[in-house]
Structure 1
Amino acid sequence: MAFKKKYIPLIIGVAVATGVFIGGKLNFTDNSDRLFTSNSKKDKLNRLIDYIDYEYVDDVNTDSIVDVTVNGILDKLDPHSTYISKRDLQRVTENMKGDFVGIGVSFYTYKDTITVIRPLAGGPSEKAGIKSGDRIIMADGDSIFGREWSNDQIIQKLKGDKNSKISLKIYRKSEDRFIDFKVKRSSIPITSVDAAYMLTPELAYIKINRFAESTYKEFKSALDNLQDQGATKLVLDLRDNPGGFLAIAEQIADEFLEDDKLILFTKNKSGRVEKSFATKRGDFEEGEVFILINENSASASEIVAGALQDNDKGTIIGRRSYGKGLVQREMSLGDGSAVRLTVSRYYTPTGRSIQRPYDNGHNQEYYNDYYKRRSSGEFNDEINIRVADSLKFTTPKGKIVYGGGGIIPDIFVPIDPSTQNETLNFIKYSGLINYFVFEELDKDRKNYVNVAKNDFIANFEVSDDIVLRFQDYINKKQRERITFVAYHQEMKTLIKAALADQLYGSNASEEILNATDDMIEEVLKLVQPKK
């Protein structure tokens, strides 16, 4: 199919693209004067740039040359040392900081107009009275419809200083009228906890999408709330989580481990070892925990899973994780750009490194490991997971664990065949379902105004007629005819989840998707009383 090569790398490349977002707690022992003294290598590069700036026959953008040079140097190191340009640094920093200043709406460009999918609960737009389906026509007197706006351009237009006000003109289709709003900007959280709810009266569920600065606070708040509801067991879903800050991973692992249990240790270039131990503050040390991982769970996700597995705490369920055991530290380059440089390796409590082998540099074979593992049958049967006896380790209670590339789960769950279907993956990740659902809701949003979230999750059913309308919708949008006859029921679930997300948020969407999830079903089997 025409979409095969275009979309599949996007679907499976989450960990590769974003797995470098791991913070370092380490500090160099040398001070800045010692680290950055002049030498012939640096003088050579500086002199070359000066020659090009002042002597070269044509005008040249030396900034771009420097960027290429920096990337070329990093490409010779390891797969996870990376350069962040000045243009990208603010976005990356906000993503890992966990908030930004804005008006608090989820939106996308629909037919050349910025359209509100949902105002964020408690945010400034919701307080001002902006509703789902509203079209933002003007911002501070500037027309912002009918243009080719990128999402970054839209965000920059709507962002501003905290407590500053922005004047918006809205078109509300349901009332066929224009409305003026004055919205006071405030700090908007970029949430890293996608969902937190009770699966059973005793079993709770929390899903974390990355380890940002705000993640521990989000997680702790969700955990406290679930414990108040009676949770004594917890499913911690780290699937497709590419990692993040090392210190945040340590804090979350600490919630489950008894005092003074080793969480991990790191070793830097000089051989210096730093150990991290659990403290007294853990609130779920007596609770039973199940960690869900898959082939895209990387870095900080593997730190949490490895710490618990090596301390014989809880059960790791799923498929072998990504295999990233390198620690990066962000360093400013002085011009608004930065480099995330690998400064150490981390090891799980038994002493194993879970970093996948790599030759020096950002080699393609390292990034293509997903395809290699998939073709070997590893995702379908644990017997195909390759391990080395030389990398065998033993936990305090005698369980055998392996280093050398990822965390191998205690209980293996094969990949759902539907997630490997190219047609279904194209539909899921193309955005077509979300656009279709938005149009369905936009026909008459009053139909859902008085429907409570729990009622929708429990009782709403996607009709065959809606699925047929979606089939017609995608065939009008695509040059090739696409059919999903064999996945009719899966499509109903995806459409219902998209409806729930636009109406109630990601918590409701995850609850719907988890109702038919193989790993969740495996956990439920484990916690059911033995007959």
Structure 2
Amino acid sequence: MPLIIGAACAIGVLIGSSLDFSDNSEGLFAKNAKKEKLNRLIDYIDYEYVDEVNTDSIVDITVNKILEDLDPHSTYIPKKKYDAVAENMKGDFVGIGVSFYTLNDTIAVIRAIADGPSEKAGIKAGDRILYADGIELAQNTIGTDSLSSLLKGEINTIVNLKVQRKGEEKLLNFKVKRGKIPIKSVDAAYMLTNKLGYVKVNRFAETTYEEFETAIENLIKQGATELALDLRDNGGGYLDQAVKIADEFLSKKKLIVFTKNKSGEINKTFATDKGKFENTKVYVLINENSASASEVVAGALQDNDIGIIVGRRSYGKGLVQREMNLGDGSAVRLTVARYYTPTGRSIQKPYASGNKEYFNEYHNRYTNGELQTKDSIHVNDSLRYETPEGKIVYGGGGIIPDVFVPKNTDFEKESLTYMLRGGVMDRFIFNILEKNRSYYNQISQQEFEEEEMISEEILEEYIAYLNEFNFDFKTTNYRYLLKKYLRATMAEQLFGTNAFEKIINQDDAMIEKILELEKNPS
């Protein structure tokens, strides 16, 4: 399981590379012998080789191999994957605004996104979308890509939907005007105490700061004067978004981050006078999967003696990528600089031993005890730095927290929690909701929070459901955990990610530590 988790973390970090640079590489490449040599080889294979060969695939393999030998974070994005990758980082797309399953060969609406086109048109959770502009969707011949293209489209265009709703004899007709649908990067924002607000950011996309600003403004209205910023499992993203968020806590002219490129040119970024949480208490939650832009935020606050970093040592990615178009719809994200925290430390962990060893480092942390005790974290005394107030910090691989919180040592529980967060119970909960959709669609979030919602009967039904798939865990030992995740998943399908995180965090070790620090400040 540690290897599986480590691999997942590595993928997340690759996706979360710092992407704040535009492509200004036009005109950099003069004619040279090395480039001509590769071009000539491809031409020979195209025109002279005895068998038919897909030279596009050869080029893709070559590009990947070249980048792999450079560093772990220079990556190639093939043409067929570019749109999906770009959309994920863009922060929104144009569509009808529903989350759905393809259930029994039918599009079943899990939830209409709040204030989105479908909700405004009257589509509800549990509806089955059978036709879009006269095209039948309930058939095996339509793949996921085709399905998405039918529901997506140009902004403000109309799509005519025919919907089957439980309790209605005839199909319902809806005209839905496509609009911009956010891909949220702020999962949750709510009050932990009467003065401490909480915000969870899952990545740094184009709209992250805008989402964050809206979230903290709402928290301030609720009385927040302090903030807990949760960057656990945040693999990074756009550096400029991280800088703007760090600026909320730092006073004017404080150094946030600086980068150094191949020629030694240094580019420094300083805080402005716009921060809403300057000179106040802030906690930043990090773990072994917090990387890149997340580490910029944590490092900037730690090095400026602002706030308290809580959790475990972060991933250790201090390489900056620039996206460069390769001219055929594909692109490369090439490492062009390193970033450094205000004290001058690089937090990039070593990668000289190759990519395999680099991405396997999670397993090393797991086996050497670092995830359980702070004393097991190896530090290089030659990379020792001092903050303005005399706090000792270290470079050489990740941000070491001020307050350490160990990872759960119960392997069964850790593995079960990881899988439950991966969505194994989504369809089960959807089916539970379908049994009494009219009731669940009218219940308010406050009513939901006041009711038990997950009965022993539902829990037993879920355990039996897991057994059908030979789910190899001693579920009877973790009935409380299963019940919590069933309740959280139900809350998410009815009310969104904020409701999910609020339930999941109720006995979270790091949040418990923050609340303890609030009661007993040192």
Give TM-score scaled by structure 2 length.
Answer: 0.95
In the alignment, the residues of structure 1 paired with residue 139 and residue 271 of structure 2 have an alpha-carbon distance, to the nearest angstrom, of: 55
Measure how far apart 1:495 and its partner are: 0.4
1:312-461 pair list within 5 angstroms: 312-359=305-352, 363-417=355-409, 421=413, 424-425=416-417, 427-428=419-420, 431-461=423-453
User: What's 1:123 paired with?
Assistant: 116
* Paired letter, 1:463: S
Measure how far apart 1:451 and its partner are: 2.5
Q: State which drifts further: 417-426 or 72-81.
A: 417-426
User: What's 2:85 paired with?
Assistant: 92
Decide whether aligned partners of structure 1 residues 135 and 419 sit closer, same or farther in structure 2, where only a CA change above 3 A counts: farther
**Alignment check: 8 A CA contact 1:99 1:189 kept:** yes
Decide whether aligned partners of structure 1 residues 288 and 425 sit closer, same or farther in structure 2, where only a CA change above 3 A counts: closer
Cα-to-partner distance string for 1:147-172 (whole Å, 9 max, x where unaligned) = 17654443223111111111222221
Measure how far apart 1:112 and its partner are: 2.3
**Alignment check: 8 A CA contact 1:330 1:338 kept:** yes
**Alignment check: 8 A CA contact 2:96 2:151 kept:** yes
Measure how far apart 1:62 and its partner are: 1.5
Is 1:200 the counterpart of 2:193? The answer is yes
Cα-to-partner distance string for 1:402-430 (whole Å, 9 max, x where unaligned) = 11111000000111245764761575156
In the alignment, the residues of structure 2 paired with residue 454 and residue 223 of structure 1 have an alpha-carbon distance, to the nearest angstrom, of: 22
User: What's 2:162 paired with?
Assistant: 169
User: What's 2:507 paired with?
Assistant: 516
Measure how far apart 1:339 and its partner are: 0.3
In the alignment, the residues of structure 2 paired with residue 66 and residue 229 of structure 1 have an alpha-carbon distance, to the nearest angstrom, of: 56
Name stretches of at least 5 consecutive residues in structure 2 with no aligned partner. none
Superposition CA RMSD, Å: 2.1
* Paired letter, 1:517: D
Cα-to-partner distance string for 1:11-56 (whole Å, 9 max, x where unaligned) = 443431132333444579x9732x1111011001111111222222
Q: Secondary structure of the equivalent of 1:115?
A: strand
Q: What is the number of equivalent residue pairs in this alignment?
A: 521
Measure how far apart 1:526 and its partner are: 1.2
Measure how far apart 1:392 and its partner are: 1.0
Decide whether aligned partners of structure 1 residues 176 and 397 sit closer, same or farther in structure 2, where only a CA change above 3 A counts: farther
Decide whether aligned partners of structure 1 residues 411 and 430 sit closer, same or farther in structure 2, where only a CA change above 3 A counts: closer
In the alignment, the residues of structure 2 paired with residue 430 and residue 527 of structure 1 have an alpha-carbon distance, to the nearest angstrom, of: 31
Q: Secondary structure of the equivalent of 1:432?
A: coil
1:37-76 pair list within 5 angstroms: 37-76=30-69
Decide whether aligned partners of structure 1 residues 423 and 218 sit closer, same or farther in structure 2, where only a CA change above 3 A counts: closer
User: What's 2:100 paired with?
Assistant: 107
Q: Secondary structure of the equivalent of 2:507?
A: coil
* Paired letter, 1:252: I
Residue of 463, 470, 473 corresponding to 2:462: 470
Decide whether aligned partners of structure 1 residues 415 and 129 sit closer, same or farther in structure 2, where only a CA change above 3 A counts: same
* Paired letter, 2:505: N
**Alignment check: 8 A CA contact 2:25 2:324 kept:** no
* Paired letter, 1:206: V
* Paired letter, 1:440: I
Cα-to-partner distance string for 1:67-93 (whole Å, 9 max, x where unaligned) = 111111101100000000111111111
Measure how far apart 1:440 and its partner are: 0.4
Name stretches of at least 5 consecutive residues in structure 1 with no aligned partner. none
* Paired letter, 2:477: A
**Alignment check: 8 A CA contact 2:231 2:290 kept:** yes
Give TM-score scaled by structure 1 length.
Answer: 0.94
User: What's 2:478 paired with?
Assistant: 487
Q: Secondary structure of the equivalent of 1:101?
A: strand
User: What's 1:528 paired with?
Assistant: 519
In the alignment, the residues of structure 1 paired with residue 98 and residue 106 of structure 2 have an alpha-carbon distance, to the nearest angstrom, of: 14
Decide whether aligned partners of structure 1 residues 170 and 450 sit closer, same or farther in structure 2, where only a CA change above 3 A counts: closer
**Alignment check: 8 A CA contact 1:192 1:209 kept:** yes
In the alignment, the residues of structure 2 paired with residue 91 and residue 25 of structure 1 have an alpha-carbon distance, to the nearest angstrom, of: 18
* Paired letter, 2:337: S
Q: Secondary structure of the equivalent of 2:358?
A: helix
Q: Secondary structure of the equivalent of 1:414?
A: coil
User: What's 1:249 paired with?
Assistant: 242
Q: Secondary structure of the equivalent of 1:19?
A: helix
Q: State which drifts further: 51-60 or 318-327.
A: 51-60
In the alignment, the residues of structure 2 paired with residue 138 and residue 9 of structure 1 have an alpha-carbon distance, to the nearest angstrom, of: 43
Measure how far apart 1:482 and its partner are: 4.9
1:239-318 pair list within 5 angstroms: 239-318=232-311
**Alignment check: 8 A CA contact 1:263 1:348 kept:** yes
User: What's 1:16 paired with?
Assistant: 10
Q: Secondary structure of the equivalent of 1:366?
A: helix
Is 1:217 the counterpart of 2:246? The answer is no
**Alignment check: 8 A CA contact 2:255 2:268 kept:** yes
In the alignment, the residues of structure 2 paired with residue 136 and residue 151 of structure 1 have an alpha-carbon distance, to the nearest angstrom, of: 14
**Alignment check: 8 A CA contact 1:331 1:340 kept:** yes
Q: State which drifts further: 218-227 or 148-157.
A: 148-157
**Alignment check: 8 A CA contact 2:78 2:330 kept:** yes
Q: Secondary structure of the equivalent of 1:495?
A: helix
* Paired letter, 1:399: K
Provide the identity percentage. 55
**Alignment check: 8 A CA contact 2:408 2:414 kept:** no
**Alignment check: 8 A CA contact 2:109 2:126 kept:** yes
Decide whether aligned partners of structure 1 residues 125 and 480 sit closer, same or farther in structure 2, where only a CA change above 3 A counts: closer
Measure how far apart 1:395 and its partner are: 0.6
Measure how far apart 1:458 and its partner are: 4.2
In the alignment, the residues of structure 2 paired with residue 401 and residue 530 of structure 1 have an alpha-carbon distance, to the nearest angstrom, of: 21
**Alignment check: 8 A CA contact 1:292 1:318 kept:** yes
* Paired letter, 1:396: P
**Alignment check: 8 A CA contact 1:11 1:429 kept:** no
Cα-to-partner distance string for 1:186-239 (whole Å, 9 max, x where unaligned) = 111111000111111101000000001100011011111111211111010000
**Alignment check: 8 A CA contact 1:163 1:184 kept:** yes
Decide whether aligned partners of structure 1 residues 171 and 25 sit closer, same or farther in structure 2, where only a CA change above 3 A counts: closer
**Alignment check: 8 A CA contact 2:324 2:332 kept:** yes
Measure how far apart 1:439 and its partner are: 0.5
Q: Secondary structure of the equivalent of 1:43?
A: helix
Q: Secondary structure of the equivalent of 2:289?
A: coil
* Paired letter, 1:444: N
Decide whether aligned partners of structure 1 residues 480 and 389 sit closer, same or farther in structure 2, where only a CA change above 3 A counts: closer
* Paired letter, 2:364: K
